[in-house]
Amino acid sequence: MVKPAPTGRIPCLDGLRALAIVLVLFEHTLHARFGKAAAWASLYGSLGVSIFFVLSGYLITLLLLREWHATDTLSLKAFYGRRTLRIFPAFYTYVLVMVILNHLDVLATPRSDLWAAALYVWNYHVNASSSWYLSHFWSLSLEEQFYLVWPLTLLLAGPRRAGYVAAALLVLVPLSRVLTYFLWPEARGHTGMMLHTALDRLMYGCLAALWQGSPRFQVHLQRLFRWRAPWAALVFLFAISPVLTYKLRGGYSLPLGMSLESLAITVLMLWLVQNPDRWLGQILNARAVVHVGVISYSLYIWQQLFLAEGNETWLGVFPLNLLCAWLAAECSYWLIERPFLSLKGYLAPHRERSSSRPVTVYPVEPVQPL
């Protein structure tokens, strides 16, 4: 099993969150400055979001397994209460700001787009306008839909059978992507965003969390590590896969590319949490890098307001736009996120609080992608 850090957080994962948000910022910064001329940068922004998804599936499943081993059940009420405190405050503050800016005629966002974002259905809102300021909420919509189905699956099926469900989805979801592309032409722009076409990216992380305690899985994993699979995964993620995606487009990414990318991220993630003392782990565990990972949820939400091609005010001028995004994220984290996060302890299931049974899955704070 993974040895937890003294703070209870798994080493390197905050650093991976930082890497993910940096990739997203890299794409959006180039988009804001060069528009379509920097379309290639979207390949790395997509990689950043995929990292968020794999991390989210992994950490959410660890959190649920921790409760399962402590209480032999799951409290959905407590889970959704914690998720509400973690996600809603910063998210709906941003939505409120969008509503105010529209009311002041600073922005002109259709009401249907605002509702789609506020109700977490943006990824299925195929008739959405080109509203840049809300478009990043497709990933949060997918996250919320994942929260609706995965804890219930784990509760009803148990960890062992839930592993079979996750493994089956790794096969079925890519097929669903291809079928959706051909059978629902008007939704082709959302093919990689919807629950039934993108859930596998989270399932790779879920399956890693479910299987990592298995001796057989660990034997195979160590064999991959000896074959230098983590380094091959790095080369694939940052050099090979982007080129294949750029050249072959959906012909590669829909049936195969997204799956291979998620698998490579999972292998790299598991290697890092088991080898945090290597040079790459030391970089990811540096205090400044960890802090970027900690505020990555707020940074993901608020950067969209400043890293916009249509923002011609001084707030949208590079590098002031990055500074503004960072300041907004810091304010959001300390003034909105932290006060609500301090209430999460009151939502721990009573049986878990009073249980003396040893817990075999380490407590960690789930990442919020996006």
Q: What is the pLDDT of residues 120-138, one digit of tens each?
A: 999 999 987 768 999 999 9
Distance CA 67, CA 362 (A): 10
By residue count, the chain amounts to 370
Q: What count of other Cβ atoms lies within 10 Å of the Cβ of residue 181?
A: 17
User: Which of 249, 275, 264 lies closest to 40, judged by CA?
Assistant: 249
Name residues whose C-beta falls within 8 Å of residue 347's C-beta, 6 or more positions apart in sequence. Answer: 78, 81, 82, 85
292/299 Cα distance (integer angstroms): 8
Domain regions of the chain by residue span: 13-125+133-342
Tokens 């790395």: give the residue. Answer: 44
Residue of 347, 365, 230, 343 whose CA lies nearest to 294:
365
Would you list the DSSP string of 122-183?
GGG-TT----HHHHTHHHHHHHHHHHHHHHHHHHHHHHHHHHHHHHHHHHHHHHHHHHHHHH
**pLDDT reported for residue 167:** 97
106-to-94, 282, 305, 314 alpha-carbon distances in Å: 15, 44, 12, 14
**What is residue 11's DSSP assignment?**
T
pLDDT at 130: 67
Which pLDDT score, from 0 to 100, does residue 230 have? Answer: 96
Q: What's the token pair of residue 57? A: 């599936």
Between the CA of residue 319 and those of 272, 295, 316, 360, what are the distances in Å?
32, 19, 8, 46
pLDDT of residue 365: 38
**Which segments of the chain have a pLDDT < 70?**
1-8, 130, 348-370
| Helix, coil or strand: residue 191 | coil
- At residue 35, the pLDDT reads 81
- What is the rounded distance in angstroms from the CA atom of residue 352 to the CA atom of residue 164? 26
Both tokens assigned to 235: 């080369």
Q: What is the DSSP letter of 194?
A: S
Within the chain, residue ranges assigned H as helices are: 13-34, 42-71, 76-103, 111-118, 132-135, 137-183, 195-198, 200-211, 215-226, 229-235, 241-248, 250-252, 258-274, 279-284, 287-294, 296-306, 320-332, 338-341, 350-354
Taking the model in full, what pTM does it have?
Answer: 0.92
Q: How far apart are CA 196 and CA 94, in angstroms?
A: 27
What are the CA-CA distances from residue 54 to residues 227, 279, 357 (Å)? Answer: 22, 22, 29
